Chain A
Amino acid sequence: MNSYFDRLSHTIVASATAPGSSIGIIRLSGSLSVEIVLSISDKKLLKPRSAEVCRISSKDVSIEQALVLYFKEPASYTGEDVVELQIHGAAGQAETIMKLALSKGAIPALNGEFTFRAVIHGKMTLQKAAAIPHLAMEHNELALSIIRKEYFNDKFTAFLSEFLKKWSRYHALATSITDFPDYVEEYLPCEEIIETVNSLEKNLRLIKKNSSRFLRSQKLKIVMAGKTNSGKSTLFNALLEQDRAIVSKEEGTTRDFITHSFDIENISVNLVDTAGLRDTDSDIENEGIKRSCSQVESASLILLIIDPTSSEAASVVDFYNRYRKNKKIIAVTTKRDISKAKLCLPFSVISVSAHSGYGIEKLRNRLREIIKEDAPDPSEPVVFNSVMLSLVEKSLLNCEELRRYITSDFIEISAQLIHEINKNLLILSGNSPDVDIYEKIFSDFCIGK
């Protein structure tokens, strides 16, 4: 019963509003929706598309006065029978009425299940559906501006449908050439196809680049790493402009990592302070150090914090070299107010003092630069999740192969590639079903949408 597909014959119910809102909305979708609402209310009949007041009761005890809205299939959000109950906002109220509905045969909706059903029943394209969890969850101003645009303009879908029009002609031509060799003397318009492939590729590359950036910008993480007592937590607080981490002169004060989010360039970023690295016999501290390492491994950007008064250049360089291939690193020397000592390092460093504020703005600017370099371009289309991105990548691979085969004798391989590109782009544009993609996409959703 875990698959969205397996659940389709059931009626689902969820609270569509967050607890604590002044109005609560309970939404049901499925063939039993009307029956369930009739059985828990004083209504004998629901009229589609009209708002009516009703009394909801359990075992003859009246528990709520609600506004009921009925959308008859297929003219509803999900394409199924949908009933919405607007109730009072108290959390307990919603819970009681949900339980009532469950006792009458509904099942609680999973993440994104309403939207899933909308796509399945042809009410929404996949691209739009994929944007919804972001619309609902996003705290990120830049990402929101991209999503709103995609959601409402369908820029990506428009691009695809334009392309697919052209492409289906090649598809038909390749088919007739192989199936009617006696009568069809035409050849594939290789040059024209290569040109089309090139322009498709250019667009897909842009989408891929922008989407990868978009997806990366969804989970930007800056991890502060360095030896114990190098001033990571002090700098952490300074960057956040608040007293978030405990700071002391003692080595090993920070035992576990601390995460706090803040905005840079309209992108929300998680800043992570970690336990300092040193050899110790303390089990707790060693566990903390282990966690620090795994934070570093998953970082988008590392702030390598160096105390110039106590560090050896060799071990700092060692750390730098271990990560510089795969990660962006900013090296920062701290305690500028105490010492102007300079380590001799083969890379540039930013010298700061968290206490005097020296260099902090310079560090912020450097962070801004790096994040901006990799920020998605709001004027270009994106796809919203990794599954769709992998379809884009597959198509890019197919484009490359097609260019290689189109001028060879293997017209059937070209035809196959033309077909594969066509198929993947149809799925992307939401015009062709693919069971796996649906399941993956919709498990990203928050409840009730």
Chain B
Amino acid sequence: MKKYDVIVIGGGHAGYEGATASARTGAETLVLTQNISTIGELSCNPSIGGQAKSNLVREIDIFGGIMGKAADFSAIHYKTLNRSKGPAVHATRSQNDRGLYCSFVRNKLFSCSGLSVFQTSVRSIEAKNEKTFVISTSIGVSFLCSTVVVAAGTFLNGTVTTGSQRFSAGRLGEPASKNLASCIKSFGHRIFRLKTGTPPRLLMASLDFKTMDEQKGETDCLPFSIQTSDMLKNQRSCYITRTNKKTHQIIRENIHKSPIYGTHKSVEGIGPRYCPSIEDKIIKFSDKPAHTIFIEPEAWDAIECYPNGISTSLPCSVQEEFIRSVPGLEKAVITRPGYAIEYDAFDPVQLKNTLESTLIPGFFMAGQINGTSGYEEAGIQGLVAGVNAALISKNSAEVFTLDRTSSYGGVLIDDITGKGTSEPYRLFTSRAEYRLFLREDNTSDRLLEQSVKFNLISPKTAEKERGKTAAKRTLISLLSKKHITPEKKLTEHFAEKNIPPPKKKTSLKNFLKRPDIAWEDVEVFLDTADFDKKTIENALTEIVYEDFLKRQEEEIEKHKKMKNISIPESLDVSKIPGLTRETIEKLHRYKPENLARFAAIPGITPAAVSVLLLYIKKHLS
């Protein structure tokens, strides 16, 4: 029987990023998927990016991943969120053609060297000797591999509910995976039940767009991938409409039929608070007279559209009734009903920050199975798991990890593996302590060299990115050398613009830090013909945040020091004097790899941190 280096189970966003990252790292990799034609499926909304998520896509991209390229390839509409706010919280979001997205991903997988794809569902995973897993499938064939990445999404014991109807499924119309979950559980991984939901899909032709607000795409956004050179010019619009009193009344009158709020509560999994169903919104925020619905076309030549904002698990007939009370949707035809899906996830604190199991060496899990939500969150986990699975299979001593001080991926993985989660975890900018540093415009500065070190990106692309950074540095240095003095001419120049001039001699760089100064106010003082618009923009961004970042550096250093003190797996914490029983329980449960992660566990006191530090320093070094 042929033995693969790495087998990835699942062809979703964690699966395809994991498989290709593993292959890029040089491992012979096999993807097992229940259905080749749904590889890369956008199961929920046809959209990539958004707050913090767009940063993740760019991080995946700098590590040579697929998501950014697929999103640019299939985009039909772009928007920059938070445009009126500072660049650190700008976020790009695209609407995508579902079919194009999937076919792009599929083509990438089939053209990736060292990667094979096979369609079958997995029945069990057996850990044989060291670095040997036997994967048995429903068609009776077994596969051997050194390391395995499970990226099964919402398929593990998935249960779909609409109204009173409940049935086993991984997504609507696709079978759930039943044996796999109990197999992972038997390894000692703790299982918990989560829930998420999706709205009904509507027939485009049945909608009246004249009564809705049009939201045009924006052509001056930043494409997701550094390899996409041109921005999409002709874009497809989205539309906005709103629920009203009548909609809310219909939902309230039928709430007893809800599997979550109704008389027969059947759904028990914990759902995401930040992505509430329309029932949630009406029950919990009853004072709001209207809720926004975004009508998102699912393709260039869309037959169906995705009404974002009305995820629901009410019976299909009720769905139709309340939807038809909304302006523009009076004659809407539902093509697929909305539903809630419950699924098994595994407690991510039992994973290392490489996403390898702390219980079974060589066994990795990535994506929704770890209690996260979102394509982008899944993608970055897949990538990290894929690279590490490949490294281990190749007997490499290196590990590929992301740091929360330099990437959103690091924040995500550090959070879930360090603290766990009780609801589907979604990334927000506010989860990052250093978000003024984790920006869309400086992904290369943060992560390029790591990507080069692990051969995840082509030398040519890396060189091009380095050139961009160098140009930015040159411009910043020019700006710090060029000084302006408050003489008459200058004062007049600013008086015209109604801006208070500098009080004393100051460099252009420092002057630009003032929140009331824009580039246009100072460009006359410097010859910038050598620099393109993007370079200038990026340099300005860097300058604006410089002082705030300097202040954070000390904190980042402190965090790094703590991170460098590792807590060995073999350490018997019950023997350490001075630790409370509660702390010892937490150490057993969370198994932190280093002191920084230990300190981040909820309820851990600085006292406990120092006791452990002392012990490690004294006994283990």
Contact = CB atoms under 8 A, between A and B. Distances in A.
Answer whether A and B are interacting partners. Answer: yes
Interface of A: 3, 5-10, 30-31, 117, 120-122, 175, 178-183, 404-405, 408-413, 416, 420, 433, 435, 438
Contact of A5 (B430, B545, B610): B610
- Of A6, A411, A416, most buried by chain B (CB within 10 Å of CB) is A416
- Of B292, B515, B576, most buried by chain A (CB within 10 Å of CB) is B515
A5 B614 CA distance: 8
Contact of B86 (A121, A182, A183, A412): A412
B202 interface: no
B294 A120 contact: no
Nearest to A177: B85
Interface in B84-114: 84-86, 88-89, 91
A118 to B, nearest CB: 11
Contacts of A122: 605
Given A3-B610, A120-B606, A120-B607, A9 B576 contact: yes
A180 B615 contact: no
A120 B85 contact: no
B51 A181 contact: yes
Contact of B578 (A8, A182, A411, A416): A8
A405 B607 contact: no
A183 B292 contact: yes
- Of A10, A181, A404, most buried by chain B (CB within 10 Å of CB) is A181
Majority secondary structure of chain A interface residues (helix, strand, loop or mixed): loop
Nearest to B294: A182
A31 B577 contact: yes
B576 A411 contact: no
A408 B516 contact: yes
Majority secondary structure of chain B interface residues (helix, strand, loop or mixed): mixed
B577 A433 contact: no
A182 B49 CA distance: 13
Contacts of B91: 181
Contacts of B551: 420
A9 B86 contact: no
Given A31-B577, A121-B605, A180 B51 contact: yes
9 contacts: A9-B578, A30-B578, A120-B606, A175-B430, A179-B51, A179-B52, A180-B51, A183-B292, A412-B86
Contacts of B401: none
Interface string B351-377: 000000000000000000000000000
A438 B89 contact: no
5 closest A-B pairs by beta carbon, nearest first, are A9-B578, A5-B610, A408-B515, A410-B86, A433-B606
B226 interface: no
Size bracket, chain B contacts: 35 or more
A319 to B, nearest CB: 34
A179 B428 contact: yes
B176 interface: no
A182 B89 contact: no
B60 to A, nearest CB: 21
A413 B606 contact: no
A413 B86 contact: yes
Contacts of B89: 178, 411-412
Nearest to A411: B85
Interface string B603-621: 0011101110111010000
Contact of A9 (B82, B435, B606, B611): B611
Contacts of A121: 605, 607
A9 B615 contact: yes
B447 interface: no
A182 B605 contact: no
B118 interface: no
Contacts of B413: none
A6 B515 contact: no
A433 B606 CA distance: 7
Given A410-B544, A412-B89, 13 more contacts: A5-B606, A5-B607, A6-B610, A6-B613, A8-B610, A9-B615, A179-B429, A180-B274, A181-B81, A409-B84, A412-B429, A413-B515, A433-B606
B441 to A, nearest CB: 13
Nearest to B308: A182
B187 interface: no
Contacts of B84: 409
Contacts of A433: 605-606
A409 B85 CA distance: 5
Contacts of B81: 181-182
Contacts of A5: 606-607, 609-610, 613-614
Nearest to A436: B558
